[in-house]
Amino acid sequence: MKCKRCGQQAEVELPSHNAAFCRDCFFVFFQRQVEKAIKKWQMFKPHEHILVAVSGGKDSLALWDILVKLGYRVSGLFVDLKIEGFSEKAREKVEKFAHQRQGHLIILDLAEEGIAIPWVVKYTRKTPCSICGQIKRYYFNHIAYKNKFQVLATGHNLDDEASRLLANVLRWQMPYLIEQSPILPSVYGFAKKVKPLYRLGEYETAAYAFLRGIDYFAGSCPYSKGATFLRYKQYMNQLELEFPGTKLDFYEGFLKKIGPLFQSSVKKNQDLHLCPECGYPTIAPQCGICRLKHKIKNGKE
């Protein structure tokens, strides 16, 4: 198969774009998709300092890599969840990546915070992934906000967004649908959040990471077994296989037709105040993470 841009031997085939590219032209394609996302949603300006949340996986390291390549000022944030046989390997990859590129990396250790994931799952009725997601969001936001980063970027890709959209639409989860935009503005104590890879699928980010020689962590978290979000990804993959381009059409269609309506109805957070203990925005007297920390501490004593 020939490269769609230059006619040389193609290395990456992309049925969803009805195209195939050689290595160099694939890099051009990848970069353009990211630039398009940044420009369309005005994610950040050239001088702004970006905090990229990195997990050690292909998406977040590819994001850090491409943003540096595009000339942005970037720092990485790794939250060490302390999940045995998983977190230490992921951390190793992130540290190696940052060291090789002399990138600035912030590491937050959840054991030092008294809220390591294996401890937490014993003290909550929520699923491990839902509580883990809540804790990660808390620290991503907290660190971005406290350290005055203008924006927090995450490596969510098209597969993540399309499968999440499918799950949210099937249950008409309006509060979650409102937040399914590639950009969330900074409001009362919350950092601005962006997803520059939202136009690129999992296969594309994996191909980019591989071809760029990024040594990423490909292991899976022990808590992810049977997680529902993986099933929605499989359903979307089946649709994509039969009808190439479905994922992008589905998510882009949502943003175009319905997204602006949801955006205008984002509640103004009048009920929020800052947690007296940690300063995080909450509607309860004390934020959920501080309450959880106390629960764990008291349970251990």
Choose the contact partner of 290 out of Zn ion, ligand Q46, none; CB within 5 to 8 A by kind.
Answer: Zn ion
Q: Of Zn ion, ligand Q46, none, which one does residue 275 interact with (CB within 5 to 8 Å by kind)?
A: Zn ion
Task: Pick between residue 184 and residue 275 the one whose CB is nearest to Zn ion.
Answer: 275
Q: How far is the CB of 268 from ligand Q46 (least distance, A)?
A: 29
The distance of closest approach from Cβ of residue 27 to Zn ion in the complex, given in angstroms and rounded to an integer, is 43
Q: In the bound complex, what is the minimum distance in angstroms from residue 301's beta carbon to ligand Q46?
A: 26
* Residue window 47-86: x/- pattern of binding to Zn ion, with contact defined by CB under 5 A: ----------------------------------------
Site for Zn ion in 258-287 (CB under 5 A): 275, 277-278, 280, 287
The residue (of 72 and 190) whose beta carbon lies closer to Zn ion is 190
Q: State the minimum distance, in angstroms, from the CB of residue 142 to Zn ion.
A: 9
Q: Between 224 and 234, whose beta carbon lies closer to ligand Q46?
A: 224
Residue 255 binding partner per list ligand Q46, Zn ion, none, with a CB distance cut-off of 5 to 8 Å that depends on partner kind: none
Binding site for ligand Q46 (CB under 6 A): 81, 128-129, 132-133, 221, 223-224
Q: Is 296 in the site for Zn ion (CB under 5 A)?
A: no
124-153 residues in contact with Zn ion (CB under 5 A) are none
Angle 181-20-30 (CA atoms, 0-180°, nearest 5)?
Answer: 40
Burial, 61: exposed, middle or buried (Cβ in 10 Å; 0-12, 13-18, 19+)? Answer: buried
Nearer to ligand Q46, 224 or 269 (CB): 224
- Contact of residue 129 among ligand Q46, Zn ion, none (CB under 5-8 Å per partner type): ligand Q46
Which residues of the chain form contacts with Zn ion (CB under 5 A)? 275, 277-278, 280, 287, 290
